[in-house]
Amino acid sequence: MYKFIKPQHMDAFHEHENIAQNTSMKEGPFAKFLIKLAKLQERLPMSVELSPVRIAIVTARNSPSEMRVIKTLRSWGVYADEAFFLGGVEKSNILKAFRAHIFFDDQDVHLEHSSLVVPCGKVLYRTDSPLNKLKTTQNSQSKKTKI
Give residue-wise pLDDT tens across range 41-83.
889 888 877 888 888 989 888 877 788 888 999 999 998 888 8
Decide the pairing of beta strands 103-105 and 82-85: unpaired
Contact 38, 76 (CB under 8 A): yes
For residue 56, give the H/E element and its range.
strand 56-59
Least confident of 23-27, 71-75, 107-111, 134-138: 134-138
pTM above 0.85, yes or no: no
Identity of the amino acid at 41: Q
Tell me what the mean pLDDT of segment 123-133 comes to: 69
- Alpha carbon 26 to its chain's center: 13
